[in-house]
Structures are given as structure tokens and as C-alpha cells.
Amino acid sequence: MKTRAVRLYGRKDLRLEEFELPQIKENEILAKVVCDSLCMSSYKAASQGSDHKRIPNDCDVNPIIIGHEFAGELIEIGSKWMDKFKAGDKFSIQPAINFEGSPVGVLGAPGYSYKYIGGDATYVVIPNEVMEADCLLPYTGEGFYPASLSEPLSCVIGAIHANYHTNPGSYIHKMEIVDGGKMALLAGVGPMGLAAINYVLHREDRKPALLIVTDIDQTRLDRAAGLYTVAFAESRGIDLRYVNTSKFTNAIDELKAISGGEGYNDIFVFAPVAPVIEQADALLAFDGCLNFFAGPSDPNFKATLNFYNVHYAYTHIVGTSGGNTGDMKEALKLMSAGLDPAGLVTHIGGINAVIAATLHLPEIPGGKKLIYNHIEMELTPITEFAQKGLTNPVYAHLAEICNQYKGLWSIEAEAYLLANAEKL
């Protein structure tokens, strides 16, 4: 079967190509990829090429398919896996398979390391190690984009699970955020920050009493507040506050005052900016945990931390990169139960839009860029559907659907796009 895919040959060398997939082996699965959500990690991979730790050194002659936040439908099942999967099943994949004995190495991952599987392709061959590592995950909810976005949601789920606290005199780490504690998401209204807000507000088993979300962009703060409202948070027992720190003369003093002067038990930093990290460090409560979520591109990135507080106030720092399979299963369960991640999505495009969007991702404002691999469509902000609808009725109808959902993408919009894409 032929596939059409975006392949990486080296630094900033992405090519949209059509080529033949090999016949699947008895331990492999053929799948149709419906959609992929572009990730800043793909931008980093495309920028670094073979210098990236997950990308093979010979990608110039054996290019890999890029994209790792994808969902689709299983087409053909190898005999080894027929008792567990069937054609027609919807799926997502945990890309960080970390499988000992993988032919591409233990750090191998779809979207980084494989010739025949990645998110920005029409059809892929899922290799045996993905199933062996239990990383081919079923999705039973509606549509496809929620399953695609389960990967970024799993990253924030993993981060929240990874925070820890201690009792003085004990070496036991109590994993998780403080239940009923004070939490802050700094630079927290980008795509991953929005995912974190959504998760915290919908979680049943553990949640903070106070949740502060900061940024310096009032437009982005207002959008977040419209998606995840203070009123809804209050109904969940959470005092949610959106704070524009650019309006403060002394942001640390003002934010600490909101906490009652005690600081915050759990702080998550969503931007690789040294002053934001230092602000977070200054806002930690006794035994506070700072989670540096935002992965920097610069291997020499540094920020100053208060080690007096590390010693005497038991403050500590963790860093997480991605979620594990359990986190992704939790995300898919939440999606299947109705948690809608549409608030993360601001742009829609076809496979023809992948290269330019990936290489310029930091320069494109907004949230997640969602790609539908079987269509041709320039990357388009949802807010521009109405304007494009003046000359194309497909965009006009998409605008009408999105307006019914507070300007957000939806299962209905996805179904309409997939059914009418040839008219774009």
C-alpha cells in the first residue's frame, strides 16, 4: 500500500513524499492515520535533525516519518495480534515506548525514529514493539481528535503525578500534588497550560483548593477564562484565578499575597524562561514542589535557585518529559467519558501544511495545530473560517458549527470537514 508522509532527512529538511509501505509481518499492524496534533517537540526534532537523541544518525538515507500525537483506525492485523485487536478499532499511540530490544533502540519513538510509522502520514505500519510495550491504545470515544490530543494531555497528567512532598525526618516521598493545597501554573495559558487547567478542573480524586494561572498576555488569559470558567471551578470546589503578572510592580509579592503569604505547594512552569523559573522558586511554600515542565532547546539553559530554601524549607524541583502509558490510558479514559480537549486547538490544516507549520511552530500564535492527513488544506485559524467562508461554503459551514461550540473545534466540525474536504 502507498502512503503519503512527511519525512525528516536532516536539520530543517522535511519532505512530503509518497512511497510504498512494506507488506505487514505477522507481528505488525497496518493503520490509517486520521489526524495528528503538531507538537513543539517535533519542531525541536526537525531543527536538530540527527543530533536529536531519538533520531537515527542515518536519517539522511533512511528518513523517518515525523509526528507523534496521532490517532486513526486499524486496517489490517497481523496474526500475532488478532486476539487483541481488530480491523476498525480506533487507536492512539503512546510514543515513548522505551522498549528494550527495539530495533531502533530503547529511546526509539514513533515520530522520531521509524521509517514506516509517524503521525504525519496517511497509512503506517505499527511495529511489534509498540504492541509488546502496550503502547497501542484503544479509543472508544467519538471522533478522532480527542484521541490525538490524549498524548499532550498525558504529559500534564504525568507532570501532576510526578510532583512529590515529604515529611521532615522521613525519606519517603509522597507522590502527587497536595490535595486541597495551593497550586500555580506559571505562563499557563499556552496549549499545555490549558490542558493542565482542563485536567485539574475535571479530576475526581485529587485537586487543589486554590489554583492560580498566570501569563502576561491578557488576550490569552481571557480566552482561557472563557473556556475554563471561574464559576465552573467554584462548582468543583476550586478557587480559580487568572492573573496578568505584567500589571504588577512586584509579581512575587502580589502572587504570594494571593496565597495568604504562605506560597504555593505545587508550581508548574510552562515556559523555558529563566525569570519565570526564578519567580516560581520564590513562590514555593514550605515543602513546595516546582515542576519545570517546559523543555528548553538550549542544553546550557540555566536559572538561579534559592538553595537556602532547599535546605531549610525543604523546597524541591522535578522535571517531566511526556507521560507514561498509564498517564495516556488515564487521558483516553477521560476523553472517552466526555472530557473535550477542543480548547487546545486553534488551527486546522491538511497534510500539505505540515512542513511549514512544523518548521515555524514557535512563530505561529495560538494553541494546537491539528492536521488531517487525508486532506489538502492550508493551515487556517478557526477564527478565520468565517472570512474564508465568503468564497467557500465549506469554510462558511465550518464557521457556523464552531460558533455553536463557543468558537471551538468539535466532533461535528471534524465529521463535516472529513466528509467535505474535497470541496475546499
The cell for 64 is: 523517518
CATH value at residue 125: 3.90.180.10
Same domain assignment for residues 177 and 111: no
| pLDDT tens for each residue of 3-25 | 999 999 999 999 999 999 999 99
Of the pLDDT bands very low, low, confident and very high (cuts 50, 70, 90), residue 100 is confident
**Does residue 367 lie within any of the structural domains?**
no
Q: How confident is the model at residue 33 (pLDDT cuts 50, 70, 90)?
A: very high
Burial of residue 336, with CB atoms counted within 10 A of its CB: 0-12 exposed, 13-18 middle, 19 or more buried:
middle
Examine residue 331 and state whether it is found in any structural domain, yes or no.
no
Q: What is the pTM of this model?
A: 0.88
Cell 476550586 locates to 238
- Residue 68: inside a domain, yes or no? yes
d(CA 186, CA 183): 10
The CA-CA-CA angle for residues 381, 382, 383, to 5°, reads 85
pLDDT number for residue 395: 97
Could you tell me if residue 413 is inside a domain? no
Question: In the listed set 352, 371, 401, which residue is the last one of a domain according to the structure?
Answer: 352
Q: Does residue 308 share a domain with residue 269? A: yes
* Residue range 348-392, pLDDT digits in tens: 999 999 999 999 999 998 889 999 999 999 999 999 999 999 999
DSSP 111: B
Q: Is-contact 96 102, C-beta < 8 A?
A: no
HSE-CB at 82 with a 13 A cutoff on CA atoms is 6
DSSP codes joined into one string, 26-79: TT-EEEEEEEEE--HHHHHHHHHGGGSTTS-TTTTTS-EEB--SEEEEEEEE-G
CATH number at residue 220: 3.40.50.720
Instruction: Count other Cβ atoms within 10 Å, centred on residue 116.
Output: 21
> pLDDT grade, residue 211 (50/70/90)?
very high
- Cβ neighbours for 333, distance < 8 A, ≥ 6 positions apart: none
384 occurs within a structural domain? no
Q: Say if residue 75 is in the same domain as residue 202.
A: no
**Element (H or E) spanning 128, and its range?**
helix 128-132
Query: What is the residue whose three cell numbers read 478557587?
Result: 239
Instruction: Please check whether residues 183 and 301 belong to one and the same domain.
Output: yes
195-229 CB burial, b ≥16 within 10 A, e <16: bbbbbbbbbeeebbebbbbbbbeeebbebbbebbe
**Of 352, 376, 401, which marks where a domain is finished?**
352
Distance, CA of 163 to CA of 165 (rounded, Å):
7
Share of the chain above pLDDT 90, in %: 86
Q: Are residues 48 and 140 in the same domain?
A: yes
Cα(335)–Cα(415) distance, integer angstroms: 17
Look at residue 366 in the predicted model and tell me its pLDDT.
87
What are the pLDDT digits (tens) for 191-203?
899 999 999 999 9
- In this structure, the answer to whether residues 261 and 302 fall within a common structural domain is yes
Instruction: With a cut of 80, say whether residue 322 has pLDDT above it.
Output: no
Residue 388 in domain: no
For residues 260 and 187, state if they share a domain.
yes
* Least-confidence region, from 14-18, 120-124, 404-408: 404-408
The mean pLDDT value of the chain amounts to 95
Residues 114 and 220 in one domain: no
The Cα 291–Cα 319 span in angstroms is 5
Give the residue from 90, 69, 144 showing the smallest Cα distance to 354.
69
Q: Which residue has the cell 477521560?
A: 334
Cβ pair 369, 361 in contact under 8 A: yes
Judge if 311 and 176 occupy the same domain.
yes
pLDDT of residue 309: 97
Indicate whether 374 belongs to any domain: no
Q: How far apart are CA 362 and CA 44, in angstroms?
A: 10
Q: Verify that 98 and 215 share a domain, yes or no.
A: no
Same domain, 243 and 168: yes
Tell me the C-alpha distance between 152 and 338, whole Å.
17
Residue of 291, 275, 258 whose CA lies nearest to 159: 291
Q: How many domains does the chain have?
A: 2
Domain span at residue 174 reads 162-319
* Domain contains 410: no
pLDDT, position 305? 95
Interatomic CA distance for residues 305 and 217, integer angstroms: 26
336, pLDDT greater than 90: no
Residues 342, 382: contact at Cβ < 8 Å? no
Residue with cell 498517564: 327
User: Does residue 201 sit in the same domain as residue 286?
Assistant: yes
CA distance 391 to 116: 38
